[in-house]
A and B are shown apart, each in its own frame.
Chain A
Amino acid sequence: MAKRVGMEVGIAAAEAVGMCNIDMAAVYPITPQSHIAEHLSEIVADGRIDAEFVTVESEHTSISCVSGASATGARVYTATSSQGLLYMHEILPIVSAMRLPVVMANANRAISGPINIWNDHSDIMPQRDAGWVVFFADNGQEVVDMTIQSFKIAEDDDVMLPVCLNMDGFQLTHTVELIEFPDQKKVDKFLPPRKPFATLHPDNPISMGTLGMPEIYAESRKSQDEALKNSKKTILKVWDEWEKMFGRSYKPVETYLAEDAEILLLTMGSMSETAEIAIDELRKKGLSVGLVKLRLWRPFPFEELKAAVKKAKLLIVTDRAVSFGGSGGPVFIEIKSALYHEKERPLVYNSIIGLGGRDVQVTDFMKIVEDAAKAGEKGIIRDYEFYGVRG
C-alpha cells in the first residue's frame, strides 16, 4: 500500500511540481505562497529536478517569463497570491489568448484595501474572465493530485490553455496534512514530456502574439471561448484516467448527502471539509440538508451543477469574496444566472463568509443553514448577507 506522509501542503505542492519534470519555473515571493517558491528552489538547487529556476523581480515578470518559456515548448510553472495575481492581471488574458499551457498555483489570499495576508477568494474572482481553466482544491491530497493533473490538462492538444489551481492560503498551504504521494513511475506514465503544438525556434519561424484588427478580433475571442468550453471534455477524461491509475476520483461538482436533501449548502475550497461536519451535525438535528462542493470554476460546470441542485428547495451559496455594488458574491451571481432558465430550481440565498481569513467554524455553518431554512420555508427572497459582521 502506498505510504502517507504528514507534510505542509505548500511544501507538498512544490514536491508535486517536482514530480512533473518541469523545464522552467519563475516565481516571485508573496505570503502565503512563499513556501511553495522556497521549496521548489530547494528541489532545483539540490538537483532533484533539472529545471531553470528564475527568481524574477515582480509577478508581472514571472508570468511574462513563463509565457516566453512556454512558447519555446518548455513545461512551466509559477505560483502567486492576491496582490501578485492582481499585478499579473494584465498578462493573464494574453496567456490564455496565446494558448500557452502555463500552470499556476494561487494561494488564495485577501486583496488589499486594507492590506490583509489571510485567506479568502477575492484574488481569483476578478480573474474570472481571463480565459484560464480554474480549479479549487479542498485539501492537501487534492493539491498534489490536481497539480499533476493540471499539467496534463493544460498541455493537451484539445485544450492548450493555462490552468490556475487555487489552494487556500494559510488555511491550506500552511497546514500539515496526511498526503499519499503517487508513485513517480506511474506519474511519468500519466504525464509524458510535453509535445508542444507550435514553438519558437529558428528551424520553423512563426510569429506569436500578432495584431488583431477589428475584422478578426471577434473571431479570435469566439475561438478562445469555444476552446475553454471544450476543455471540460478533456478535464473529465483526465480525471477518469487519474481514477483508473491512482484510485482517487474527481468530479467538477461533488456532493455530500445531497441526493435527497431539501436544503443545500454550496462551498468552494478548503472550508468544504468544515461544512461536511456541519452537515452531519444538522442531519442529527433532523434537518434535511446536504453539501455541494464546486471544484471546477472555469469552464463552469453547468450540467453537473443543475443536476446536483434541481431537487432541492433551497440552495445557500457561500462566497468568500464580494462584488461591490453588485447582486452578491461572485459565486452566487454565477449560480443564480446558471439556474435562471431552469424549470426545476431551488430558491438561492447568499452568505458572504470568511473574508480576510476570519475563521468559519462548524457552528457558523450551522447557524447560516438554520437561519436560511427558517426564511426559506416561507419562500422569502433574501438579499445577500455579510455573515458575522459586527454592527
Chain B
Amino acid sequence: MKKKKWPETWQEMNPGCMVFEPASARSYLTGSWKAQRPVWDDSKCIKCGICYIFCPEGCVSQDEKGFFRADLDYCKGCGICAHECWPGAIEMVEEG
C-alpha cells in the first residue's frame, strides 16, 4: 500500500488547507481493509450492471468483454455486490 505523504514543512501547506487535486483520495488504497473479496462467475453473469451501480466504493468496472470486475486495490469486501447479484454470479471468497 502506498504511504500517505504529509507536507514536510508548514511552508508547504496550501493556504486554507485547500486541496487543488480533485479525486486525489485514490492515493489511499482501501483494499487492505477487506476480509473477503468478490469473484465473478462469467458464465452466470447477465451483464446487467447492478454490481457496478451498488458498489459504495465505485470500484466495479467492466472489462473489454463486458464482464464486471472489482478493483481489489479499493474493494473493502462489504459483500453488497454478491448479495444483490440476481443470477448469483458473484461469490465472496475469504482473503488470504
Chain A positions within 8 Å of B, measured between CB atoms, are: 97-100, 160, 197-198, 205-210, 212, 215-216, 218-220, 222-223, 226-227
Residue pair A212, B17 in contact (C-beta under 8 Å): yes
Residues of B within 8 A of A219 (CB): 7, 9-10, 12-13
Chain B interfacial residues counted at CB < 8 A: 14
The docked-state distance in angstroms from the alpha carbon of A223 to that of B10 is 6
Residue pair B19, A206 in contact (C-beta under 8 Å): yes
The docked-state distance in angstroms from the alpha carbon of A195 to that of B61 is 41
The smallest C-beta distance from A376 to any residue of chain B, in angstroms, reads: 43
Residues of B within 8 A of A220 (CB): 10, 13, 17
The docked-state distance in angstroms from the alpha carbon of A258 to that of B76 is 71
A-B contact pairs, 6 of them (CB 8 A): A198-B15, A209-B17, A210-B19, A216-B17, A219-B9, A222-B10
The docked-state distance in angstroms from the alpha carbon of A106 to that of B13 is 31
The docked-state distance in angstroms from the alpha carbon of A206 to that of B17 is 11
Interface residue from B9, B12, B18 paired with A198 (Cβ < 8 Å): B18
Knowing A216-B6, A223-B11, the reply to whether A208 touches B22 (Cβ < 8 A) is no
Closest A-B pairs by Cβ, 3 of them: A219-B10, A99-B16, A98-B16
Residues of B within 8 A of A100 (CB): 16
Residues of A within 8 A of B15 (CB): 99, 160, 197-198, 223, 227
The docked-state distance in angstroms from the alpha carbon of A212 to that of B12 is 14
Residue pair B22, A207 in contact (C-beta under 8 Å): yes
Residues of A within 8 A of B22 (CB): 205-207
Residues of B within 8 A of A97 (CB): 16-17
The docked-state distance in angstroms from the alpha carbon of A98 to that of B17 is 7
Which of B6, B11, B12, B18 has the most A CB atoms < 10 Å from its CB?
B18
The docked-state distance in angstroms from the alpha carbon of A206 to that of B7 is 18
Residue pair B11, A207 in contact (C-beta under 8 Å): no
A sample of 18 more A-B contacts (CB under 8 A), given A160-B15, A218-B10, A223-B15, is A97-B16, A98-B18, A100-B16, A197-B15, A198-B15, A198-B18, A198-B20, A206-B20, A208-B18, A209-B16, A210-B19, A216-B17, A219-B9, A219-B12, A220-B10, A220-B13, A220-B17, A222-B10
Within 8 A of A (CB), among B13-61: 13, 15-20, 22
Residues of B within 8 A of A212 (CB): 17
The docked-state distance in angstroms from the alpha carbon of A100 to that of B9 is 22
Knowing A215-B6, A216-B6, A216-B7, the reply to whether A223 touches B13 (Cβ < 8 A) is yes
Residue pair A208, B16 in contact (C-beta under 8 Å): yes
Residues of A within 8 A of B6 (CB): 215-216
Residues of A within 8 A of B16 (CB): 97-100, 160, 208-209
